[in-house]
Amino acid sequence: MNFALTDEQQMIVDTVRTFVETEIYPHENEVERTGFVPPELGQEIARKCKEIGFFGCNFPEEVGGAGLDHTSFTLVERELGRGSMALTVFFGRPSGILMGCNAEQREKYLLPAVRGDKFDALAMTEPDAGSDVRGMKCFARQDGDDWIVNGTKHFISHANIADFVIVFIATGEEETPRGPKKKITCFLVDRGTPGFEIRDGYNSVSHRGYKNCILTFDDCRLPSSQILGEVHRGFDVANDWLYATRLTVAATSVGRARRAFDYALNYAAERKQFGKPIGANQGVSFKLADMITEIDAADLLTLSAAWRLDQGLPANREIASAKVYATEMLARVTDEAIQIYGGMGLMDDLPLARFWRDARVERIWDGTSEIQRHIISRELLRPLGA
């Protein structure tokens, strides 16, 4: 077993970390204050990302990407996790689902997304369909060679900057042993399509400036050519996406936890009370010991899951384990970092309160902690017939 990074992987870590520190950190306080990223700033970050050759790095070289394997890309996401999501979203990583595009769609959506000429967003969640994805009510009925869509999606991340949205829509129903279930189809929907509107979403305490949006469909007519994959087979596409996003959430949680830990460690070494650094007290030093142990454990879980994907091994349980552990670890680490700082940890002069608030949503989106535990336990029990 070799846990060392290759020279190339170490170069990736160093390059992305430097990018985040020089291009992202300086703008974080203003974005946190205003909840807004000026378009020209987003474009500048995307341009610089292209300059260092990382835009679309999660895509194979044959379509213009950097061709990174799962482990290397997870390292990229880990380092991006140190920075504000409102800004790192412009460090382009289009949805891997787009590899399912047919020849015509590749020219219109996939290749422009990998080049950075177009931004995508992905829409699945609805007001009444979160963890229960098959409970979605956004429905498309077939009308000749077209589909007429009606319904609403919400909590759609960064749709405000998207040129097109990858949308999962119910297109039928089937009987299953557990009752009727929706059949889901994936559509590519351009901004500006008649009957389709992207509206501002809710104000969130987590990841300020990283917008969530509401999508509405009012008799929106989509030709069959806009279907990504096959009719009623949207879940085949969705599962690949969920693997990738859950691993990303785990990786970014590790990166953010390490940044919070660095603040706590340095403060514990510098801050003096009763004539000695506070880190000399077990009440603080033991916190640091527990924090770094949990961070390292989450890191290894995450990279191990990515490695399994690279080896072509089943990784559903391992990805779920990484996601649930890393996100819950981040909550504990950010809370302890604030405790070490005391009252100062809650002030806007430091980013710790932001890390603390941002950590809360990680246990919810891309599959709640409860859903991850369901996946883990199901994978354990099914082989035993339970």
| Residue ranges matching CATH 1.10.540.10 in the chain | 7-93
| Residue ranges matching CATH 2.40.110.10 in the chain | 120-232
CATH of the domain spanning 7-93? 1.10.540.10
CATH of the domain spanning 243-384? 1.20.140.10
pLDDT at 235 over 90: no
> What pLDDT shows up at residue 128?
84
Which helix (H) or strand (E) covers residue 158, if one does? Answer: none
pLDDT digits (tens, 9 = 90+) for 127-167: 988 777 778 999 999 999 999 999 999 999 999 999 999 99
pLDDT digits (tens, 9 = 90+) for 37-71: 999 999 999 999 999 999 999 999 999 999 999 99
| Residue ranges matching CATH 1.20.140.10 in the chain | 243-384
CATH of the domain spanning 120-232? 2.40.110.10
Q: Is the full-model pTM beyond 0.85? A: yes
**Is the alpha carbon torsion for 82, 85, 87, 89 positive or negative?**
positive
> What pLDDT shows up at residue 175?
83
> What pLDDT shows up at residue 236?
82
> What pLDDT shows up at residue 241?
67
Q: What is the mean pLDDT of the chain?
A: 95
pLDDT digits (tens, 9 = 90+) for 310-335: 999 999 999 999 999 999 999 999 99
Reduce the DSSP state of residue 205 to 3 states and report it: coil
Confidence class for position 179, pLDDT limits 50, 70, 90: confident
Where would I find the H helices in the chain? Answer: 7-19, 25-34, 39-51, 70-80, 85-88, 103-105, 111-115, 234-270, 282-310, 316-341, 352-362, 369-381
